[in-house]
Amino acid sequence: MYDPSVGEVIATTQLCSKAQVNAAATAASNALLSWSQTTVSERADYLNAIADAMEQQFNKLVGLSALNSGKPIEEAKIDVGDAIACYRYYANLIVSQSTLTEVTTNEAGIRLLKTLAPIGVCALIVPWKFPMVTTSWKLAPALAAGCTVILKPSEVTLLPELMLGNILSAIGLPKGVVNILPGAAEVGAAITSHPLIDKISFTGSNGVGEKVMIQAAKGIKDISLELGGKSAIIVRADADIDHACDLIIGGIFTNAGQICSATSRLLLHSDIAQNLFTQLKIKTNSLQVGDGFDPDTQMGPLVSQQQQMQVQKYLDIAAEENLDCLTGNNVLDSQGYFASPTIYIEVPTDSRLWQEEVFGPVLVSTTFVDDTEAIRLANDSKFALAATIVSADEQATIEMALQIQAGHLWINEQQIVLPEAGWGGFKQSGIGRELGPDGLSAYQKSKHILLPN
Ligand code: NAD
């Protein structure tokens, strides 16, 4: 693993063998019966114990996350706080859920009872973007539901996730309930195709998501996928320009643009375009790019050299396509994996930068003349994860929100994620929802019991 601010190795680890994947799947399968029969309050106690331990080790977790991913320390604090909130949310939700409900008694006197059972042994595969956060979105509801787990963190950001493993041991989680396996694609493929796995929950790129679907087909495994995005931020003519610039910058340059819900396509009313671009350029150029541990840093490096090369590839495509650059346009000449915040204007919708997820600090923009055109442009994507609308007219924004294809819509806000609000997209942004009650349902199956009155 690397410190992306300086491009130096900070730790090495052995990756799992196929035999270890098999041993972990067997351990999770053996632990399933006893874990699934624990009471909901016992499982809630474990989830709260994880949250308590994370709170006690807050600074260490924040430091490891910032070191391993390069993100600014304030963003790492938000991440760890969000993960803690997620464990607490599912602790509360599971105790509020009835274990057995009487649904109906019909005219013939047949009683119908319903219960929710854990889906079984779950493979949780997470990316590097938000270590511990994406993990909590899967692990907390899976444990709450009574499932046992194999967790494969990203090989790029293992350090904070391995510390989570120490926390799970320290709180006395029964052996076999959670098995954390370091590994890359080969280990991920061995886990997701293992015959003892009942469900796969995957977050990552669309290319790997397609492979995971194929791997899940063998043995008919249940599957949830959280994939890519190319989300729109729409600024109407009545928007406050200063606030709009802050939302645009936050939506694309937070975490150096490495967010699936980054609002990476700016749709701007033509009446305010010139004025907004002038302010946006000034504000973007004043962003402090640097080491995540420097308190003045507002944007850290990209997570890896590979990710920096990915951004460079799209800057090259922009040059080939003759895109008009407002600011940025280069990766920085330093040992770390930095790129400058970059904005292209009047980008044609058939541009690759308009259509493809860059997963870096690169914003493309175009203008519109009315709400109908803005909605059409927002929906002109194979992805449909999130969107932001900036306007002084709340009624108009809600009407637009109802017509935009996206799972999460922010009005005059950006990138707020609440544990109680389900997360996930339409179209190629994925299958299923995480967080909220839907996130718990993803690890449960209903059972119906019929008996005479
Ligand atoms: P990735 O797809 O390369 O890897 C994701 C995970 O899958 C990693 O743990 C990786 O080791 C593992 N993996 C790789 N090949 C595998 C295989 N054949 N079988 C099983 N597992 C395999 O993604 P990444 O580069 O880590 O993350 C960036 C991508 O993730 C972006 O496209 C982004 O949009 C997406 N993302 C989506 C969301 C969301 O909520 N929708 C959240 C975060 C990231």
Pair (201, 260) in one structural domain: no
pLDDT at position 106, please?
A: 85
pLDDT at position 327, please?
A: 97
Pair (191, 270) in one structural domain: no
Pair (286, 221) in one structural domain: no
pLDDT at position 334, please?
A: 83
Number of domains in the chain: 2
Pair (180, 253) in one structural domain: no
Pair (153, 188) in one structural domain: yes
Q: What is the CATH number of the domain that holds 71?
A: 3.40.605.10
Pair (182, 264) in one structural domain: no
pLDDT at position 445, please?
A: 97
**Segments in the chain below pLDDT 70:** none
Q: Tell me, in angstroms, the distance from the centre of ligand 1 to residue 203's CA.
A: 5
Nearest of 273, 270, 261, 311 to residue 413 by alpha carbon = 261
pLDDT at position 404, please?
A: 98
Q: Is 125 in the pocket of ligand 1 (CB under 6 A)?
A: yes
Burial class (CB in 10 A: 0-12, 13-18, 19+), 207: exposed
Pair (308, 396) in one structural domain: yes
Q: Is 307 in the pocket of ligand 1 (CB under 6 A)?
A: no
Pair (221, 242) in one structural domain: no
CA–CA distance from 225 to each of 128, 201, 360, 418, 423 (Å)? 16, 6, 21, 19, 11
pLDDT at position 103, please?
A: 82
Label each residue of 218-233 as H, E or C: CCCCEEEEECCCCCEE
Is residue 423 a part of any domain in this protein? Answer: no
Pair (340, 414) in one structural domain: yes
Taking only the tens place, the pLDDT of each residue in 75-122 is 999 999 999 999 999 999 999 998 888 888 888 889 999 999 999 999
pLDDT at position 324, please?
A: 97
Pair (69, 217) in one structural domain: yes
Taking only the tens place, the pLDDT of each residue in 370-420 is 999 999 999 999 999 999 999 999 999 999 999 999 999 999 999 999 999
Pair (145, 198) in one structural domain: yes
pLDDT at position 26, please?
A: 98
Whether the CB-CB separation of 109 and 99 falls below 8 Å is answered with no
State the Cα–Cα distance between residues 442 and 123, nearest whole angstrom: 13
Is residue 249 a part of any domain in this protein? Answer: yes
Q: Is 194 in the pocket of ligand 1 (CB under 6 A)?
A: no
User: Which residue type, as a one-letter code, is found at position 129?
Assistant: K
Residue minimizing CA distance to atom 13 of ligand 1: 185
User: Which residue type, as a one-letter code, is found at position 195?
Assistant: P
Residue 245 falls in the annotated catalytic set: no
pLDDT at position 199, please?
A: 98
Query: pTM, whole model, 2 decimals?
Result: 0.96
30: containing domain: 2-227+429-452
Residue 147 falls in the annotated catalytic set: no
Q: Is 427 in the pocket of ligand 1 (CB under 6 A)?
A: no
